[in-house]
Structure formats: structure tokens, C-alpha cells
A and B are shown apart, each in its own frame.
Chain A
Amino acid sequence: MSGTVQSKENLRLLSGNEAIARGAYEAGVKVAAAYPGTPSTEILEYLAEYEGAHAEWAPNEKVAVEVALGASMAGARALAAMKHVGVNVAADPIFTASYTGVKGGLVIVTADDPEMHSSQNEQDNRHYAVAAKMPMLEPSDSAEAKAYTKLAFSLSERFDVPVFLRTTTRVSHATGAVVLGDVEPPAVPLGFVEEPAKWVMLPVNARRRHVLVEERMRALREFAETFEGNRIEWGDRSLGIITAGVAYQYVREAFPDASVLKLGLAHPLPERLVRTFAAGVKRLIVVEELDPIIETHVKALGIPVEGKDRIPLLGELNPRIVRQAISGEAAPVREPAIVPNRPPNLCAGCPHRSLFFALNKCKVTVTGDIGCYTLSALPPLKSMDTCVCMGASIGTAFGMEKALGEAARGKVVAVIGDSTFVHSGITGLINVVYNRGFSTVIILDNGTTAMTGAQDHPGTGKTLQAEAAHRLDLAALCRAIGVEHVYTVNPHDQEATEAVLRREINRDAPSVVIAQASCVLLPEHRAERRPALEVVEELCNGCKACGKLGCPAIEWIPLTPEEAVAAGKKPTQKGVVRINRLMCDGCNLCPDVCKMRAMVEAAP
């Protein structure tokens, strides 16, 4: 009976991200680096809580992978984690790390976001494994997330290859039961050994390494045939489903009796196992989220198979979609009620709202970037005109200028967050100066990486462990780049902000405006928070000017003509506004827009 007690003591409810962190810890990871990005962020936050590993926020994903690769070269087990689009940033070192191979196990986590819950595209990063000729493990729940992370390190060392671990939102941000294990002693001794043929990717060496890469793929294909994560669960042979990742869970839920080939390795595929499975079932279907990667491969083997002709190409799957797609049956469900939307919004007191309210008065085209401030593209602010990827705001603003020439002067502005600027905005700004532009770049410096839950970065002067670090001076950096006009404003000071914006937008030279005010989610903000405001109802004339702010603390209370008269208003007044004191942050932006001066500091 003690065994039961023991296992219960070691049983935890972990998210996929917690499980990856735990798996890396148990694998003895020594160096881990990441840039925050939903749904991958918590992996490093959890890893930082374990003793014995160096865990860090890197300025971007490319640096994170290079740090992890360097640690691997020195013999340590290392991990880099990122969201799917982060792999695009890191692709350069990843593709050549596939050639160099590793010394200590090297694992690269890619957390994909089907359905785009918090992303700008829906790319399927399994393509990267094929393109970079690297194996990719794909867990389907938290227990596998931990087991596959450990396995990824040992596979990396065994086959001399960096290993991808791919999750999706429903693995990273789903929780499940996980049994904790012990920490493994390192398999590889520490120390960098000079080996130019492996580590120096000059063409002469890289050509030889490419031969080894192809040999390695052949060995990995053999491994895939017997890997226990690739398994056939024989059941009713009239239906056979090949699946991987969280889609496996949906398949088991929807078709508990079907035969299933569950692939734990997304790349390379076990061809003989696929043939065996296909030969053993009457009807063969691939159920995979996003692109038809397994399906295309199975078809290339000459095996007739159903797939994306039935299973949606877009968005997430779920058991209902899978059941309906395969059997055409689904129990009828009630139509969802038609109710007002609840879109995400900038927080009450958010400095971005203040900055964009001032910027809107300047009537300019705003090239945007990735962060909370992207929400300013939504009504009522509708400030942002473009959003592509991390760092794109500056390059696209400059490109517009070059295309439009003089017509763009005073008309185009780039906005970018502090963390995003460090991630990949700096080179864009260098380009503006170097190629003689006149762009105005607004750095929205709220002192954190807010969208992903307030992570530190080089500009905050704190590490992942919240220890003091050198604080990158953004203004000094911009000047060093060659921007002569760098000004810092407090966006909550509307008058000063608007004046500086108008002046700099029209300037015949590159300029940077740093809009500096802390994110309201930061604990340090609470200390400097000003008292909440309230509306003097007798003064409110229902003009809705404050509605243009889109502040969640300001609520419109509709009035009938009778209610309006009873409240001492004209019968034509359609309503009044009220400030929700629980939400109001005291930013004092609304008094600036209220001509009736109805917003006043609330009585304590």
C-alpha cells in the first residue's frame, strides 16, 4: 500500500508548460532561455523556480536559441522556449544548429496557437521540423509533456541533433495529472572541446555536416518505427485514425472504440508502422490540427487516406468537430444566445490609452506592433493602422515614407512597446537613421512585457528572477544610434504629450518620443496610484465625449425621457455616465475630455 501513498504524494496537477519545466528540471537542464510569448511564457517562469539551472529572459528568440546552443556546445543540457512565431525569429540559428548538432542535449520548445487565441497568425510549426531536418516530439497532455521533454534531451544527445518539442495552446494551457520523478545526473561532461569540423560552419565543413544530417534522418526514421510514443491502439478495425498531439485526446473522446495510430514523434514519420496500421483497418483517416502534414506524408507512401477533405484546416479541433467530420453525426446543441460581445480592452488607467488619445488628435497613419497596445486598433480608439510582427512598426513606417516621399512628412508614425523595441525594433531604427529617413518612433515604455503577464526585459533593470540587472537606457540607446531628437513624456500629461507629438511628427529628421508611465498591472504602480474619480451626476449632460476613451471604468447608464426628467435632465438626454470606483485607476484622463467638468476626485 505504501506504493500507492508514494505515487499520490508525487502526483501533481500541472499545466503543459509546468510539466515541460519539470521535465527539463528532472533532465538536469543547466541553461534555459526564452522570450515571453503566449502560450509558451510560463515554461521559463516555472523553470526559474527550480534550483540548479540558469533561466533567463533573452531579448528575443534568436538570442535565446543561440544562448542555449552555446550551453550545449559547452556540454550542458539546454532549452529554449518560444511561441510559434518566435521560431521565425530564431530560425537562422536553428537551421544551422541542425548541422552542427549538439554536445549537451538541446531542446527547442515551440508552442503553437491554433485558433489564434493570442497570436497574429496560425502557422503550423511542424513544417519547421521537416525543413530543418530535426526530430519533433509532440505531447498530447501534461504527463506526456514532462516525459517527452526528458526524452527530447536524451534523443538530442543520442542522435547529435537539437530536438523540437511542439505543443499547442490546449497542451501548454491545459492541466493534467503528472507523476514527479527524480533529477537525472548529466550524461555528458561539461567543457568545450575544439572540433572545427563540427562547430565551424564554413562551407567546407557544412558540406560534410549535411551528409551527416541526412544519415541522421535515416537513423531517426528507424528509431521512429520502434519508439513507444508511436503506438497502435487496436480496436474496431472498421475505422482507423492516425493522429497526434491534443487531437489524439479528441479522437479518443469521440471514438473510444476505433483503432488509433498515435504519433508521439511528429517528424520523422514511422513509414512501416503507418503501412502496418493502414493494412489493418478498413477506413483510414488522419485527424490533425492545422496543416495536412501527416496526411501528405501518408499519401506520398501511396496509401489512400481521408483527411483535410473532412477535418477543418483552420482553427482548433475538438471532440465534436472530429465526431461530426468523421461520422457526420453530432448531437444537436442549443444555439448560443446572442449577447453583446466582450472584446479584450486596455485596462483602466493604461498609459497606452492616454498616448493614443493624444496621438489621435494628430491625425496620422500609425504603423503598429505586437503588444497590449495593439488593442488600440479596436473601437473607440481605432488608433493603429497596421500590425504584422514584433518590430515591424518601424520598418513599415519607414517603407511608407520612402514610397510616399514628401507626402508622408508629418503623416506616418511608428509605435512600439519597450520590450518589443528591444526584441527587434532597434535595427529598424538604425535603418531609419542610416537611410536618411524622417520617421517618428513612439516607444510605449510601460516598464514591462505586459501582454504576456508582466515579464521583465533588459529595459526594466530586473532579471527573470527579479534580481537587479543593468537597466538598458532607451533614450541613450536611441541617441547612440544617431537619433538627435529623443524626448521622454508622461502620456497621462495630455497637454505636454500632444505638444511634443505634434512637434516631432513634423520634424525633418528622425525622432523618438518615449511615452513613459508604468503598466497598471505592476505592483509598483499601486503605490503611485492616484485616488479614483467619480461623476457629479448633476453636471453630466450625456454628451458621450468620455466614451471616446474606451475606458472600462466609465459606464453609460441609459435613461428614459421620464427617468431623465426625474433626474433633473432634459427629457432628450439619453443617459449619464458613471465611474466604477472598483476599476478606476485615477489616471485623470477623463477630466481632460469632459467639457462639463463632471469628473472629480471621489470622496474617500
Chain B
Amino acid sequence: MSAPGGNIFLAGVGGQGILLASEVLGEAFLAAGYDVKKSEVHGMAQRGGAVTTHLRFGPKVYSPLIEPGTADILIAFEKLEALRFIHYLKPGGTAVVNAQEIPPAPVSSGQERYPEGIEEALRAVTPHVHLVDALTAALALHEVRAVNMVMAGAASHFLPLPEDAYVAALTKRLPAKYVEVNVRAFRAGQALVGYGEMQPNDQ
């Protein structure tokens, strides 16, 4: 994603901390001098339902919503949710996807199967798919709730700000006692995406 602006689409399951992750990213872009708009839905959608956040930055942002086919990056906190919202990604965009599978009700009740071949389906849309195991990384820090910052860290490779910007935003946004573990989670997430994997993605 290059400097003038960009669209970041975050998707996952209610309770995974997507709203907080998007707030940290938003704060970082604002502090870096961008105009920022972000949109999300609370209430009913948060009870284990599919949750999305639209985050846009640029010199001047009007709409708080990202149009399908125009997201520069999709940050999916759950594998099935990556597939559900991949149509928001622009051609050649980047998908950073948590490998974690959280079965939705029709699957956990045995009525439907959790889709197989999600990674291949994502790769059919864009070659730039980065599958990371954010849950294991968070559990290694003894903080399952830090999956969100692991994902932010993994995605940061494809965002235009320096690492300090995210850490500063995180420090500003979180209560002091949670900062350290979340900074560690962010760095753990960064380490999940090897530099060798990184490719130019703004085609």
C-alpha cells in the first residue's frame, strides 16, 4: 500500500478484539498525519456473529465504508471469515489471515461442514495470502485475548507506517497494565510474516 491512502478491511468473529485492533491502527494513522475514518457495527452482531471493521486513511476521507473490490488489505482474524469477505479485496491486494478455525453454529451443530481448501480459494483471488497462526502465538504469551495484536503485528508489514507508530498508538489506547503483553503480541505477530514472503502488492 503506498503513501496517499488506503483501505484496510478487518473481519472476524465477535469477541476476537477486532474493534480494539482497528482503533490502534486508526490512532497510528491519525498520529502520522492522515485523515482517518472507520466504521463498525456493535450490538447484536457481537454475540459470536461475523464482525467487520472498515478502516480508511488518506489526505481526506469521505465515506466510512469500503466498497467491495477496493480494500488494499484484508486482515482476517478467522479463516472462514477471510473467505466470507475476500470479495472486498482489490485485485492483487494482500490478505493476512489467522489460521484459527472457529466453527459457526451451522457447523458446530453438524448441519454444515467447515469449508475445506480455504487457503486455495483465497490464493485464487490473490497471490498475496499470508496465513499465520495467531492463536498459538497469543497462547505462548498466556493471553488468548492478544490474538488481535498478533494479527495487527503480522499485517503491519503491509502498512506504510514504521513499527514505532503502532506501538505508540497501542500505548496511548490501552490501560498501562496491558501495554507490555500487547506490544509483545504485536512483535510476535510481526515475526510470523517472514521478510522473504513480502512482495510488492500495489499493482
What is A's interface to B at a CB cutoff of 8 Å? 11-13, 38-39, 41, 117-118, 141, 169-170, 173-177, 246, 249-250, 252-253, 318-320, 331-337, 339-347, 372, 375, 380, 451-453, 544, 547, 550, 552, 554-556, 558, 574-575, 582
Q: Which residue of B lies closest to A330 (CB)?
A: B67
Q: Which of B44, B64, B105, B110 contacts A575 (CB 8 A)?
A: B110
Q: Which of B39, B45, B63, B125 contacts A334 (CB 8 A)?
A: B125
Q: Give the complex CA separation of A201 and B85 in angstroms.
A: 55
Are A175's CB and B36's CB within 8 A?
yes
Supply 22 A–B pairs (Cβ within 8 Å), ascending by A: A39-B43, A174-B37, A174-B38, A176-B36, A246-B64, A252-B62, A318-B67, A319-B65, A320-B67, A331-B69, A333-B87, A336-B85, A339-B115, A341-B104, A343-B49, A344-B44, A344-B48, A345-B48, A451-B43, A544-B109, A550-B109, A552-B105
Are B43's CB and A175's CB within 8 A?
no
Q: Which of A41, A340, A544 contacts B80 (CB 8 A)?
A: A340
With A334-B69, A344-B47, A451-B44: A556-B108 Cβ-Cβ less than 8 Å: yes
Interface of B: prevailing SS: mixed
What is B's interface to A at a CB cutoff of 8 Å? 13-14, 23, 26-27, 30, 35-50, 61-65, 67-69, 80-81, 83-87, 103-110, 112-115, 121, 125, 144
Within the complex, what minimum Cβ distance (angstroms) separates A494 from chain B? Answer: 20
Q: Give the complex CA separation of A215 and B83 in angstroms.
A: 58
Residues of B within 8 A of A558 (CB): 110, 113
Q: Which of A170, A320, A556 contacts B39 (CB 8 A)?
A: A170
Are B43's CB and A337's CB within 8 A?
no
Q: Which residue of A lies closest to B122 (CB)?
A: A337
Q: Which of B35, B47, B80 contacts A345 (CB 8 A)?
A: B47
Are B83's CB and A337's CB within 8 A?
yes
Q: Give the complex CA separation of A547 and B81 in angstroms.
A: 23
Are A556's CB and B107's CB within 8 A?
yes
Are A345's CB and B107's CB within 8 A?
no
Are B26's CB and A175's CB within 8 A?
yes
Closest 5 CB pairs of A and B: A118-B43, A38-B43, A556-B110, A344-B49, A174-B64
Are B86's CB and A175's CB within 8 A?
no
Are A347's CB and B62's CB within 8 A?
no
Q: Give the complex CA separation of A372 and B39 in angstroms.
A: 23
Q: Give the complex CA separation of A337 and B61 in angstroms.
A: 29
Q: Which of B27, B37, B62, B106 has the most CB of A within 10 A?
A: B62
Are A13's CB and B26's CB within 8 A?
yes
Within the complex, what minimum Cβ distance (angstroms) separates B68 from chain A? Answer: 4
Q: Which of B35, B43, B85, B112 contacts A117 (CB 8 A)?
A: B43
Q: Which of B44, B64, B107 contacts A340 (CB 8 A)?
A: B107
With A451-B44, A554-B108: A177-B35 Cβ-Cβ less than 8 Å: yes
Within the complex, what minimum Cβ distance (angstroms) separates B47 from chain A? Answer: 4
Q: Give the complex CA separation of A173 and B51 in angstroms.
A: 13
Q: Give the complex CA separation of A346 and B44 in angstroms.
A: 10
Are A141's CB and B37's CB within 8 A?
yes
Starting from the known contacts A336-B87, A340-B106, A550-B105, 6 additional A-B residue pairs (CB-CB under 8 Å) come to A12-B30, A41-B42, A169-B41, A319-B65, A340-B114, A345-B48
Q: Give the complex CA separation of A208 and B171 in angstroms.
A: 59
Are A452's CB and B80's CB within 8 A?
no
Q: Give the complex CA separation of A288 and B48 in angstroms.
A: 32
Within the complex, what minimum Cβ distance (angstroms) separates A459 from chain B? Answer: 21
With A334-B87, A342-B13: A175-B112 Cβ-Cβ less than 8 Å: no
Q: Which of B37, B69, B87, B107 contacts A175 (CB 8 A)?
A: B37
Q: Give the complex CA separation of A345 and B125 in angstroms.
A: 31
Within the complex, what minimum Cβ distance (angstroms) separates B43 from chain A? Answer: 3
Q: Which of A169, A342, A582 contacts B49 (CB 8 A)?
A: A342
Residues of B within 8 A of A380 (CB): 109
Within the complex, what minimum Cβ distance (angstroms) separates A185 from chain B? Answer: 30
Are B67's CB and A556's CB within 8 A?
no
With A39-B42, A334-B69, A339-B80: A250-B63 Cβ-Cβ less than 8 Å: yes
Within the complex, what minimum Cβ distance (angstroms) separates A416 from chain B? Answer: 18
With A117-B44, A170-B65: A340-B104 Cβ-Cβ less than 8 Å: yes
Residues of B within 8 A of A339 (CB): 80, 83-84, 115
Q: Which residue of A lies closest to B109 (CB)?
A: A547
Q: Give the complex CA separation of A204 and B50 in angstroms.
A: 56
Residues of B within 8 A of A38 (CB): 42-44
Residues of A within 8 A of B42 (CB): 38-39, 41, 118, 173, 453
Are B40's CB and A173's CB within 8 A?
yes
Residues of B within 8 A of A555 (CB): 103, 107-108
Residues of A within 8 A of B14 (CB): 344
Q: Which of B14, B43, B83 has the most CB of A within 10 A?
A: B43
Q: Which residue of A lies closest to B47 (CB)?
A: A344
Are A337's CB and B63's CB within 8 A?
no
Residues of B within 8 A of A582 (CB): 144
With A11-B30, A177-B35: A340-B87 Cβ-Cβ less than 8 Å: no
Residues of A within 8 A of B104 (CB): 340-343
Residues of A within 8 A of B65 (CB): 170, 250, 318-319
Q: Give the complex CA separation of A70 and B62 in angstroms.
A: 39
Residues of B within 8 A of A320 (CB): 67-68
